[in-house]
Amino acid sequence: MALGTLLFSVAGSQAQQVDSAGISRRIELQNVDVAPSAVDTKGWLLMDNDIKTELEGGVSNLYNFKFDKAERQFRSLRRRYVHHPLPYFLMGLSAWWKIVPTNVSTKQFDKAFFAYMDTATTKAEALYKQDNQNYEACFFLSASYGFSSRLHAERHDWAKATIEAKRALDYLEKSREANGLSPEFLFGQALFNYYAVWIGEEKPWLKPVLLFFPKGNKALGLQQLRSVTQNAVYTAPEAKFFLMKILTSERENKEAEAFPLVRSLALDYPDNAYFQRFYAMQCFNRGDFRECERVSLEILDKYNQGLQGFDGFSGRYASYFLAFIRKNKYQDVAKAKSYYQRCIVFSESTDQTKGGYYQYANLSLARMATAEKDEKAARRYYEAVLASADRKSDMYREAKQFIKTTRRPTSSRVTDQDPLRTLVHRDN
């Protein structure tokens, strides 16, 4: 299911070593969804409508970051279906979404995540050994190995990531025959179809690795993802998450198409910090400052309440957007300064000082200090820009020039609107 998440993670690495010696054959995945003509689905919880109805609330709670409520429901399912992988996989997914808002940097939940995914694979393997046409077991094996592979890749444990990706692909091949039975089964193939092509185009140095994987089909992958978002129960939110990220990427650049999806995720899950900050960013990019301001204020309010997921990562986005809006919409320089300073504090507390929000917050404060003829403050902020910005960037050159000519008269005119809005366009 989540092999594509591994490919996406691998693509983000500039230096990966993959030992492919253990991969001895090429697997051919067909892009046609086949419904098995005679499959015994008795005991398949993914096909049980009563279970679907019961767990819709739990899945909703999970993605709305009501983890305690969601996990109580999953544990209730586990007591009744102790030998089924579904409750263990859902518990692992809950741990995963505790990691996501920190840009997958926190390791606090790694142990629980891997333990639940390992248990899910153990339970699924037992079911598969009993019946090698149990495509539901294949689904959970592919999903659990895929998610585990993704986190191993994020932790730069490439050996484990590669081994588990290979296992995920094996079971993805086996489970594809059930794609016609349920949209849940289609999710993994959709991700693979898209990202297998994406890596070949974006990261040519990884092409030797792709020789051991089947060919993808990017257009089909997007089509399949759209189908999952509209028809699945368990995988629909995850499919929406990936479709949102894909459509807003620089390669696809389809933000207008993505926006209804981003907005629906934000409205459906108002306490999901990741969805809220992503929605705020899209509103900012579209120039919808009223909505961006509303969402950003809510993010900071939830941060102050201590809601799970609303930490310095989300605060960094919200405070930057509010600073820009206060400066350029309301001409409220004092409030803008306060928000820019909060953005700097959030960035430093989360070790995000190489990203655009931190750099442009310092640049804005430097320019405002220059306009106010506060040479000491301006120098301090420009020095922060020099320490973090790319040496070839305009902001670096501006900061360097100021440091060289500190004592010279400077203009009081501040024109930060265009560069400071457009250059933080992406999620960085």
- CB atoms under 10 Å from CB of 110, counted, come to 16
- CB atoms under 10 Å from CB of 169, counted, come to 24
Q: What angle do CA 318, 321, 327 make, to 5 degrees?
A: 135
Alpha helices per DSSP H over 21-66: 49-63
Q: Specify the DSSP class assigned to residue 38.
A: S
CA distances (Å), 143 to each of 155, 235, 397, in order? Answer: 19, 10, 48
What pTM value is reported for the model?
A: 0.85
Calpha distance 132→126 (Å, rounded): 10
CB contact set of 400 (below 8 Å; sequence gap of 6+): 386
309 and 274 Cβ atoms separated by less than 8 Å: yes
What pLDDT is recorded for position 169? 85
Residue with tokens 């910090």: 273
Q: Is 19 helix (H, G, I), strand (E, B) or coil?
A: coil
What pLDDT is recorded for position 416? 45
403 and 379 Cβ atoms separated by less than 8 Å: yes
94 and 74 Cβ atoms separated by less than 8 Å: yes
E strand residue ranges, 167-286:
none
What pLDDT is recorded for position 20? 34
Per-residue pLDDT 10s for the chain (428 aa) are: 444 444 444 444 333 333 333 333 333 444 444 445 556 788 899 989 999 999 999 999 999 999 999 999 999 999 999 999 999 999 999 999 999 999 999 999 999 999 999 999 999 999 999 998 899 999 999 999 999 988 998 999 988 888 888 888 888 888 777 767 778 888 888 888 887 665 555 555 455 555 455 667 788 889 999 999 999 988 999 999 999 999 999 889 999 999 999 999 999 999 999 999 999 999 999 999 999 999 999 999 999 999 999 999 999 999 999 999 999 999 999 999 999 999 999 999 999 998 899 999 999 999 999 999 999 999 999 999 999 999 999 999 999 999 988 865 444 444 444 445 544 555 55
C-alpha 392: how far from its chain's center?
Answer: 29
Backbone φ/ψ region at 289: left (φ over 0), alpha (ψ -120 to 50), beta: alpha
